[in-house]
Structure 1
């Protein structure tokens, strides 16, 4: 089995797993599913940069930016106050940094985004646990 076939099989498995997890999730759990997928894809993009697989790097970073845009558009701007405004600015900043990483290939830049989003994911995990 070639690396391409293995990658395609894994992508199919991941897609089905994501659909199953999303279908059975509360809104808070769904945000965690999105963050898990985002952090996985960021790690993959980092690996593509290290491996000089630039086409795959671009695809991974595009997926990451799309997820961030989705998270941003799902924020409740009417009722969220300063917290929502802060999250929106953070998501916009991460998109900006990933755009820069796409050109600069900066591992430090992608690590910064991974660290920032890991902290936010932990916060969502705490909110989900408090609501359970």
Structure 2
């Protein structure tokens, strides 16, 4: 059945896909991080409201995004920076799993802090290198 909400979701998905098609690699990373943080906010809301199925779906989506970010790291050319990012992504994935199994919203806050710092660093990198 088509609802107003599913129509909005479909429109939003098409919009995201159009933006991704025109984005640079730098912009794609920012889009993934922004999507991650939005989905993390949903997971927090689901956890607070005891909507366990939706919480699980949101956390699974967060884990998928982290997996995508992690797989994009060039460990050969990225050196120590790529290794550090890999460790941060692993930390976030572990905390997400722990938060999900224990319904510990504070662990989601730890992940938000790390990913927000990564987002800020990525924005600063882009500004320093002329990316928009």
Q: Could you tell me the TM-score, scaled by structure 1's length?
A: 0.92
Q: Secondary structure at the match of 1:113?
A: helix
Instruction: State the distance in 2 between where 1:50 and 1:10 align.
Output: 24
- Asked if 1:91 corresponds to 2:86, the answer is no
- Asked if 1:43 corresponds to 2:78, the answer is no
Match for residue 15 of structure 2? 17
Q: 1:126 offset after TM fit, Å?
A: 1.3
Match for residue 75 of structure 2? 77
Q: 1:5 offset after TM fit, Å?
A: 3.7
CA RMSD of aligned residues (A): 1.4
Q: Secondary structure at the match of 2:123?
A: helix
Q: 1:95 offset after TM fit, Å?
A: 0.4
Match for residue 130 of structure 1? 128
Instruction: State the distance in 2 between where 1:112 and 1:6 align.
Output: 34
Q: How does 1:31-70 map to 2 (within 5 A)?
A: 31-70=29-68
Q: Could you tell me the TM-score, scaled by structure 2's length?
A: 0.92
2:99 to 98, 101, 109: 101
Instruction: State the distance in 2 between where 1:67 and 1:58 align.
Output: 14
